Every structure is written in structure tokens, then in C-alpha cells.
Structure 1
Amino acid sequence: MEERTGDDSASQISQQTGEARDSSYLLILIRFSRDSTVSDDDEIDYSSKPEFYGPELDQKDEIWARKQRRGHTSDAVLSCPACFTTLCLDSQRHEKIVTQYRAIFVLNCKIIEAATQPGSKRKRNKRGSQTEAAAETFKNVCCSVCSTKVGVIDEDEIYHFLNVLPSEA
């Protein structure tokens, strides 16, 4: 008779449990493949129209969008970068910084009254050198849906969007 050491019996037990684990895993796979059905093109009925699509709804949506924009020509429609909510339908791109926009009329924006940012206006005199003017105060503007900071508003109530997604619509 063959003598077995403690290490041999432990490896034999782990090998048996590994085989049992593998066989139960294989059994689960077989059951899963039998229970689940994969649809072929032959099984799909293309003669019936889907209930969730209405061709007349596209036209209604287009009319609604035109009415919302009121015929304005805008540089971009601005959306929140976090939740894609529309923030502005009529905006003007900054002359030098192409990723910034300004607007007067906005949607889905809230002004954070407590947080203000001091800014400064620089004016050019007749010789072309810059001089400091009175400091301007900016208030933070956030998306009203997800509270992501999207820009600031100045004392003249002009919104300056710094963190938005523009769409060239």
C-alpha cells in the first residue's frame, strides 16, 4: 500500500473540489444557453410598426424647437457638460476665446448669490496703455438640474459661459 503524506492528500482534495467547481460552472453555462434565446432576423416581424415611434412627432418637435428659438441666429446652442440640459438657445461666441460664450436670455440656470468673484475691467487710454477701472463683481452660474458650475453673470446681467457644450445648430 502506498503511503500518503499530508501535502498529497491536501492537493488531492483541492483538485477534487476544483473539478466539482468546474463541472458546476459548466452545468450553469449549459442551463443558461438552453434557457436564453438568441433572436435571428427570421424571428423579427418587420411588418408591424413599432409602438414607440411616431413619424408625425418629429415634425411637431421641429416646430417646437423653431418656436423656442424664435428665429434667432445664434453662434451655438449651449448645454450643460454634465447632464446635457439646454442652457441657452441664443448665444454669442467670444471674439478671442472660442470656447467661451455670452448671452442675456438663458434656460435652466441658477445664480449662486452667496458666491461672488471679483474681477477687473481694463480700459485703454488714448495712448493705448491699459489702466485699471472699477472692479466688477461676478456671481457664479450653475445648471439648475445638476448644479454644475457653467459660468458667471456680471453686474450688467450678461451671462458669460465658460464650461458648456456648444452645438452648432
Structure 2
Amino acid sequence: MSLFSCKYDGCSDDSSSTEESDDNIVGDENNFEELMKHELESDIISYSSNHFLLASSEQLTNDDLLYDPEEDKINERFAKHLQKVSQNGQIFEDTTDAILNCPGCMSLLSLNCQRHSKYRTQYRTMFTLNCKVADEKTQVPAAIDLSQGTSSADIEDLKKVVCEICNTPVGVLESNGVYHLFNVLASHG
């Protein structure tokens, strides 16, 4: 006898199974096969008739195209609106070094920022979205280079900035209102 052989056929020796129940099982299998075949044929006919109707019509809708040519304009207006809201009603430059997102929840943090010339993952901005300033003061990592002219007294006044959605620390806020965001995901345009 081999290691994996098994003589159990699913029925006990004292079972009352007969040929008649085997015929019922075969009949049920055939009914199931017929039902599935009928359903498949109806799906194929339905698909091919819809495909024929789409091919015969010259005018395709945006849903058929899976593309809306106006969507880019709508998105641009929405981004301008967000920028205006985050910048106290003002729109400054159209150019930004990056669009910043929270690494924890991907929420938008800034639409207008400047990238640090030496530390490529640090950004400076005056306008943020979805950021809140924590009451506690924070220690600045050694790799963070703040604005020129920042005194040691200003460094002591740095406040921790966290994502408003998920509370992930994303940077610090100077007493002069400049945000330094360094724990962010940046998308460069």
C-alpha cells in the first residue's frame, strides 16, 4: 500500500445508496450543464448585440469612450480653487516645485511650495491644506536647514505640523509663518 492511497469512496458500507440516486445525480449534472450553456449563450448574444449597436452608431458618448475631454479643464479649475482657498483668497504663481501629499494617508498638503536647494526632500511653503499645528514644540532634525536668518530663538519656537487627517508628523512651522515640510510625498510636475 502506498503512502497516499485511500480506499474510502465517500459512502459507508451500510449506505442505502442505489443506482437510482446515481441517476438523479447525473440528471442534476445535465440540468446544470444545460442551464449554464443557456446562460452563456444569452450573455454572448446580449454582448454581441450591444457591440453591434455601438459599432453602428457614429456618435459615441463620453461613457463609451471612457474619457471626458472636458475633465482636464474641470480639474484645473478645481485645483485653482483649492489653491485660492489655501492661500487666503490669493493666487500667486502658477509654478510650484512640487505638489505635496501626506505619506500616511495621501491627503493633499500643499499646492505651492519651494524645494530646498541642498536638501532635496525638504520643502518650504506659507500655504497648506489638511495640516494642523500641534501645540507642542519640537526638536529639529540635524538635516533640516531652516530659512537663512533663523536664530536659535526661532528654532526654539518651532511647532510640530501634523496631517489633519491621520496625525502623521509632516514638518515644522516657524514663528514667522513659514512651514518646512520634510516628511511628505512630492509629485513633481
Q: Distance in 1 between matches of 2:29 and 2:134?
A: 59
- Correspondences of 1:51-90 after superposition (within 5 Å): 53=68, 55=70, 58-59=72-73, 61-62=75-76, 65=79, 68=83, 69-90=91-112
**CA pair 8-112 structure 1, distance change in 2 beyond 3 A:** same
Deviation string 1:72-100 (CA, Å, 9 cap, x unpaired) is 43211223345544321221112333122
TM-score (norm 2): 0.53
Q: Equivalent of 2:166, from 130, 147, 161?
A: 147
TM-score (norm 1): 0.57
- Correspondences of 1:38-117 after superposition (within 5 Å): 38=47, 41-44=51-54, 45-50=57-62, 53=68, 55=70, 58-59=72-73, 61-62=75-76, 65=79, 68=83, 69-113=91-135, 116-117=137-138
For 2:53, the aligned partner's letter is: E
Which secondary structure state, in structure 2, belongs to the residue aligned with residue 105 of structure 1?
A: coil
**CA pair 8-148 structure 1, distance change in 2 beyond 3 A:** same
Q: For the Cα contact (< 8 Å) 1:151–1:163, is it kept in 2? A: yes
Which residue number in structure 2 is paired with residue 3 of structure 1?
none
The answer on 1:118 being equivalent to 2:139 is: yes
Unaligned runs of 5+ in 2: 1-6, 84-90, 144-151
Q: Distance in 2 between matches of 1:21 and 1:100?
A: 68
Would you say how many aligned residue pairs link Structure 1 and Structure 2?
A: 148
Which secondary structure state, in structure 1, belongs to the residue aligned with residue 138 of structure 2?
A: strand
Among all aligned residue pairs of Structure 1 and Structure 2, give the percentage whose two residues are the same amino acid.
Answer: 28
| Structure with greater helix share of residues | 2
RMSD: 4.3
For 1:140, the aligned partner's letter is: V
Alpha-carbon deviation of 1:151? 1.0
Q: For the Cα contact (< 8 Å) 2:103–2:183, is it kept in 1? A: yes
Unaligned runs of 5+ in 1: 1-5, 123-132
Alpha-carbon deviation of 1:162? 2.4
Which residue number in structure 2 is paired with residue 33 of structure 1?
40
Q: For the Cα contact (< 8 Å) 2:162–2:170, is it kept in 1? A: yes
| Structure with greater strand share of residues | 1
Q: Distance in 1 between matches of 2:72 and 2:170?
A: 32
Which secondary structure state, in structure 2, belongs to the residue aligned with residue 106 of structure 1?
A: coil
- Correspondences of 1:121-132 after superposition (within 5 Å): none
Alpha-carbon deviation of 1:47? 1.0
Which residue number in structure 1 is paired with residue 149 of structure 2?
none
Which secondary structure state, in structure 2, belongs to the residue aligned with residue 112 of structure 1?
A: strand
